[in-house]
Amino acid sequence: MAYSSRSSQRGVLLAGAVAALGLLTACGSHDIHSTPQTVPGTAGPATETAGDSPSSGTSATASAPHGGTSSAAPGTATSSGTKTESAGTRCHTSELRASVGRNDPGAGQENFPVVLTNKSARTCTLRGYPGAAFVNASGAQLGPDPKRSEGSPVTVTLRPGASAWAGLTFSNPEISGANTATPAALVVTPPDERDPLKVAWTAGAVPVSGNSSSVFLTVFNSGTGA
């Protein structure tokens, strides 16, 4: 019985020694890698290239209350409609001029091209949806924010002087019976931007509430929409 007890004690001591050795080994392994290490491929700062936009209200869209972007198939479109492999940095509000083209009515719909033209000396890009709102002479918004029509955004490359357009559409209030107001201006915000551009609105009353009062916007495409 004494021999058996002594063997049990030896087993306990041996197990304790093995555990202590394992702990020391683990600590030593941790110390080896505790110093900072350089990892290849460290990410650089974010850029404003066209491919950086996430889907439908992307990183940039999240920071822009009126502008918007959406992911699409690779490839970019120039102002002439041809696809290119690269697309410079995005156009900023200060580099653009806004205008509203002529109405092209049809099937009870009013259809206006909202045009942004590159007035800068560099080539830049637009991608996705504009932000827009009708406002009165005091700058107060009339009606809700326009909705986005379904579309497949492409990156439109604008050389100096080139334009891109997005469609602004609503039902004719005389047909739909919607409540109307006559705006003083249309406020347009380029995709991924915060600062808006203001365009005088001369096309009369627009729907602001009631039945069929929604206003819709399409994605930007090359040209003026004329």
Mind listing the pLDDT tens digit for each residue in 108-129?
999 999 999 999 999 999 999 9
For residue 88, what pLDDT is reported? Answer: 56
Of 40-49, 169-178, 201-210, the least confident? 40-49
Q: Is residue 62 part of a domain?
A: no
Percentage above 90 pLDDT, the chain: 57
pTM for this prediction: 0.64
Q: CATH number of the domain at 174, please.
A: 2.60.40
- Tell me: pLDDT of 204 over 80: yes
164 and 81 Cβ atoms separated by less than 8 Å: no
Q: What is the mean pLDDT of residues 164-172?
A: 96
Q: Is residue 111 part of a domain?
A: yes
Each residue of 20-61: pLDDT tens digit? 434 333 334 334 333 333 333 333 333 333 333 333 333 333
> With bands split at pLDDT 50, 70 and 90, how would you rate the model's confidence at 67?
low
Q: Is residue 190 part of a domain?
A: yes
Domain of residue 105 covers 93-222
> With bands split at pLDDT 50, 70 and 90, how would you rate the model's confidence at 211?
confident
Number of domains in the chain: 1
